[in-house]
């Protein structure tokens, strides 16, 4: 088995040299072929997907899991739309980010290049093969994929489609590959192939991501969790304005990483604001866990324990805490936050600016829903994930974050004196 895994990574490295210098036109042509093939081969895709779904039923997997696994016509349509959207995005490769001249006459530039070989380690949703494959191709990277065993056949058929498109354009099919095994030992082996793989992006449960971080000798970009906060300042302004932001942050889609998990409320306005917002949140189906002070103001809610402040519920549950002022709010975020998405609701200019300055999260928002921290919404085009690692990419990762820069130096005989 070992040699099979190495072989995949090695071939990906070789293919990466070809892929890295393709013209934008050529890459878009391949992407267009992928979109066409997804449409033409719907029945074949669904047939292969069926094998995984049947196995899932046999293994009694949850209906939510089977739902994530299913490649319906609707999911296929959205994959096709995703590829078409990526075609429209500008190609980041080749951009000279800056260029300058040194006193000795050297011309020095920083040129944007693909990272090389990217490895995605993910769970359940097979559409990651198409999303990640297309983003990596457009940014000139080779990609190797290791999905969950429950989606093995689905991942394979989607990869096959990409490889056909590559071959038809005379580009090495090894630019996009699925590892031939999904075992845990295989993952551990993959994580040591730093000679061939340049970056690992894990997506899934915190446990999976921790395993990757602990065992990888390859750089990893990840986020463990999103414990997102909103601080409602004493100068929050209009109630409807604030409440719309809070409710949307928590309830619009509670199962995702940028959903609100903790609401911090300024003491000065707690007794008038809390009863109203808790009622509105309850109407939206949210269960509330409050701190001591919150419980003094609103009675019929649960008590928040210490561990609640660091919990990502991913559900219609919200912890609520009364804080003395913005300073205490920021300190709470520094202590319990996950550097993901945090915001303030205020009409006070000075406080808005100070909050933005002092909170070191991947996205810091003023008067807007935490749900807006998303590559698409913020204008990066598609995103391959959100990073809370402060290195390389911090926040949503789009095409540009799938590249790096190298120094290009044009000389005319310069030497070191």
Residue 399 is encoded by which pair of tokens? 């095409």
Q: Name beta bridge partners: 178.
A: 145
| List 162, 187, 365, 382, residue binding its own copies (CB under 8 A) | 365
CA distance 258 to 243: 17
CA distance 381 to 376: 5
Q: Does 43 bind its own copies (CB under 8 A)?
A: no
Query: Which residues fall within 8 angstroms of residue 289, CB to CB, at 6 or more apart?
Result: 301, 302, 303, 304, 305, 308, 317, 318, 319, 320
Q: Does 220 bind its own copies (CB under 8 A)?
A: yes
CA distance 366 to 359: 12
Q: Which stretch binds its own copies (CB under 8 A): 47-55, 81-89, 158-166, 394-402?
A: 394-402
Please, which of residues 8-27 interact with its own copies by CB under 8 A?
17, 20-21
Per rule CB under 8 A, count of chain residues that contact its own copies: 70
Q: From residue 117, how far is each of 16, 74, 143, 201, 357 by CA, in Å? A: 6, 31, 6, 11, 35
Residue 67 is encoded by which pair of tokens? 């739902």
- Cβ closer to its own copies: 42 or 358? 358
Q: Does 185 bind its own copies (CB under 8 A)?
A: no
Q: Name beta bridge partners: 203.
A: 122
Q: Does 361 bind its own copies (CB under 8 A)?
A: yes
Query: From its phi and psi, is residue 339 left (phi > 0), alpha (psi between -120 and 50) or beta?
Result: left
| List 6, 87, 208, 213, residue binding its own copies (CB under 8 A) | 213
Q: Does 49 bind its own copies (CB under 8 A)?
A: no
Binding mask 89-118 for its own copies (x = CB under 8 A): -----------x-x---x-x--x-x-xx--
Please, which of residues 245-274 interact with its own copies by CB under 8 A?
245, 248-249, 252-253
Q: Which residues bind its own copies (CB under 8 A)?
A: 17, 20-21, 100, 102, 106, 108, 111, 113, 115-116, 194, 198-199, 213-214, 217, 219-221, 241, 244-245, 248-249, 252-253, 334, 343, 352, 356-358, 360-369, 371-374, 377-379, 389-392, 394-396, 404-416
């Amino acid at each position: 088995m070992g040699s099979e895994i190495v072989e995949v990574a090695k071939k990906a490295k070789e293919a990466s040299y070809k892929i890295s210098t393709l013209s934008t036109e050529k890459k878009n042509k391949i992407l267009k072929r992928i979109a066409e093939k997804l449409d033409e081969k719907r029945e074949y895709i669904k047939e292969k997907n069926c094998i995984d779904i049947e196995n899932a039923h046999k293994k009694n997997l949850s209906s939510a899991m089977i739902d994530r696994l299913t490649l319906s016509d609707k999911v296929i349509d959205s994959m096709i739309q995703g590829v078409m959207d990526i075609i429209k995005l500008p190609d980041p490769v080749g951009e000279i980010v800056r260029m300058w001249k040194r006193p000795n006459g050297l011309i020095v530039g920083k040129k944007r290049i693909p990272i090389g070989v990217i490895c995605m380690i993910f769970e359940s949703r097979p559409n990651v093969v198409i999303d990640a494959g297309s983003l990596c191709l457009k940014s000139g990277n080779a990609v190797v994929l290791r999905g969950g065993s429950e989606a093995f056949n689905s991942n394979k058929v989607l990869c096959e489609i990409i490889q056909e498109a590559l071959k038809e354009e005379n580009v090495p099919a090894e630019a996009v590959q699925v590892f031939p095994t999904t075992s845990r030992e295989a993952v551990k082996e993959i994580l040591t192939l730093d000679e061939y793989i340049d970056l690992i992006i894990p997506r899934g449960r915190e446990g999976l991501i921790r395993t990757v971080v602990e065992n990888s000798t390859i750089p990893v970009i990840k986020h463990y969790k999103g414990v997102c906060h909103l601080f409602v300042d004493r100068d929050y302004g209009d109630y409807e304005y604030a409440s719309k932001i809070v409710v949307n942050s928590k309830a619009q889609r509670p199962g995702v990483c940028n959903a609100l998990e903790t609401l911090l409320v300024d003491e000065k306005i707690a007794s008038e604001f809390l009863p109203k917002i808790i009622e509105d949140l309850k109407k939206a189906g949210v269960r509330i866990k409050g701190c001591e002070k919150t419980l003094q103001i609103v009675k019929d809610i649960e008590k928040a324990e210490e561990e609640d402040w660091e919990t990502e519920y991913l559900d219609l549950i919200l912890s609520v805490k009364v804080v003395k002022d913005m300073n205490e709010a920021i300190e709470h975020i520094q202590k319990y936050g996950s550097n993901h998405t945090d915001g303030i609701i205020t009409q006070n200019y000075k406080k808005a600016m100070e909050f933005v300055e002092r909170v070191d999260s991947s996205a810091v928002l003023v008067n807007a829903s935490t749900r807006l921290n998303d590559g698409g919404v913020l204008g990066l085009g598609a995103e391959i994930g959100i990073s809370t690692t402060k290195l390389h990419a911090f926040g949503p990762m789009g095409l540009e974050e799938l590249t790096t820069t190298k120094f290009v130096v044009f000389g005319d005989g310069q030497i070191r004196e």
